[in-house]
Amino acid sequence: MIQAIQVLILGLALGGVYALMSSGMTLIFGVMRIVNLAHSAFIIMAAYIAFWLFNLLHVDPILSIVLTMPMMFVVGMLYYRILFASRADNPRFIDITVLITFASSLVVEGLLAFFFTGIYRSTTPDYAKRSFNFGPFFVPESQLFATVISIVLILGLWLFLRYTRVGSAIRATMQNRNAAQVVGVNVTWVSTLAFGIGLAMAGASGSLLSFIFTFFPAKHVAWIGMIMCLVVLGGMGSLMGALVSSFLLAAASAYVNFYIGSAWSPITFYLALFLILLFRPQGLFGKKVEV
């Protein structure tokens, strides 16, 4: 029993980071119907920024969020402006956007591999080696910090969307792009902003991932698979769904990892994806839309 609870704790301690990774992608999908398959490539880009800040300037990876978030925010806005903005209103363009983001992920991967080689990296702040004990249980400090910060950021995003004027405009655009435009929302600007915010979330998760996992440029493929499963399971475009499915799958894969074998824990994600596509294609929290 104690063991089962311990496994659950370790699983949930990763859930927050998963949620942060998928929150940006689900936001981007919600506003623009663009599935950003380059999301994890940008996460790894941010992880590299955190890595070099830590190694060259001894900046704590958690602190580096202050830099990675604005940097990726700008990258996100430029990325959207250059590739997608002029075509966003064309419904036939949506299928093509998936291929474009996928191709972008290859470009980012190739450039990262060219400049930083394929060596496995991770940052090693002091807390990456410590763990926090309470009673018979323990949780690694790195995972605890990362999950707490992730939840704070997601909460911040939620409050921003809920209680600010810009947030209302973003939510309006999510619900109905044309209607939002009719009532005076500048959807192009809102989309650009949302893309920036989505990638800022990716930037923050890159900083946090840098001390939880090892990473290398080609790793983004495995992560995008995982993030996609989380986003689809939660319901594409639903922030709540991304949060719930992240903790759900983090716990499930922790159990699979412990009781069946570490090799099979990624398969948990893909099986969940196929099951949800089979029985509830709109996801747990999604509205029934054509995706």
Partner 1 sequence: MAVNTGADLAQRQDAPLRPSKANPWIKNGLPLGVLAFLAVLPVFQIANDGLNYWLHMLLYVFLYVIMSSSWNIIGGYAGYISLGHNVFFAFGAYFAGMLFVYLRISPFLMAPVAGILAMLGGLAFGLIALRTRGTAFIISTIALVLLTIEVLDNWPLTGGTNGLAMSLISLEGQYAKIPFYYYLLAIMILTILASYFIKHSKFGLGLRAISQDETKAEVAGIPTRQYKILAFGISGLFIGMAGAIWGCYLTYLRPSIFLTVALGTSIVLNAILGGKGTVSGPVIGTAIMIAVNEVVVAKLGASELNIVVTGMILILVLLFFPDGIVGSLRARNRLPSFLDWD
Range 150-209, binding partner 1 (CB under 8 A) = none
Q: Is the CB of 107 or the CB of 152 nearer to partner 1?
A: 107
Radius of gyration of the chain (CA): 19
| CB-based contact 39:205 (threshold 8 Å) | no
Q: Kindly state whether residue 260 participates in binding partner 1, applying the rule CB under 8 A.
A: no
- Sign, CA dihedral 245-250-252-253, equals positive
Q: In the range 31-90, which residues lie near partner 1 by CB under 8 A?
A: 33, 35, 37, 83, 86-87, 90
CA 265 – CA 17 distance, rounded (Å): 17
Q: Which amino acid belongs to residue 171?
A: R
| 277 binding partner 1? (CB under 8 A) | yes
Exposed, middle or buried by CB within 10 Å (0-12, 13-18, 19+), for 284?
Answer: middle
- Smallest gap from Cβ 249 to partner 1, in A, equals 13
Residue placing its CB nearer to partner 1 in the complex, 111 or 159 = 111
Q: Residue 247 Cβ, how far from partner 1 at the closest point, in Å?
A: 20
Strand partners, 215: 121
On whether the CB atoms of residues 206 and 46 are closer than 8 A, the answer is yes
Contact pattern for partner 1 over residues 98 through 127, marking x by CB under 8 A: xxx-xxxxxx-xxx-xx-------------
Only one of the segments 8-16, 66-74, 120-128, 269-277 lies at the binding site for partner 1 (rule: CB under 8 A); that segment is 269-277
In single-letter form, the type of residue at position 72 comes to M
Work out which of 3, 222, 287, 288 binds partner 1, going by CB under 8 A.
222
CB of 54 to partner 1, least distance (A): 24
Is 258 one of the binding residues for partner 1 (CB under 8 A)? no
| Cβ pair 50, 192 in contact under 8 A | no
| DSSP-based three-state secondary structure for 243 | helix
Minimum CB distance to partner 1 smaller for 34 or for 59: 34
Q: Select the residue interacting with partner 1 from 81, 252, 255, 266 (CB under 8 A).
A: 266
The residue among 6 and 188 lying less far from partner 1, judged by its C-beta, is 188
Question: Buried b / exposed e across 68-90, counting CB within 10 Å, b at 16+?
Answer: bbebbbebbbebbeebbbeebee
Give dist(CA 254, CA 244) in Å, integer: 15
Which residues are near partner 1 by CB under 8 A? 33, 35, 37, 83, 86-87, 90, 92-96, 98-100, 102-107, 109-111, 113-114, 217, 221-222, 224-225, 228-229, 232, 236, 261, 263-264, 266-267, 270-271, 273-274, 277-278, 281, 290-291
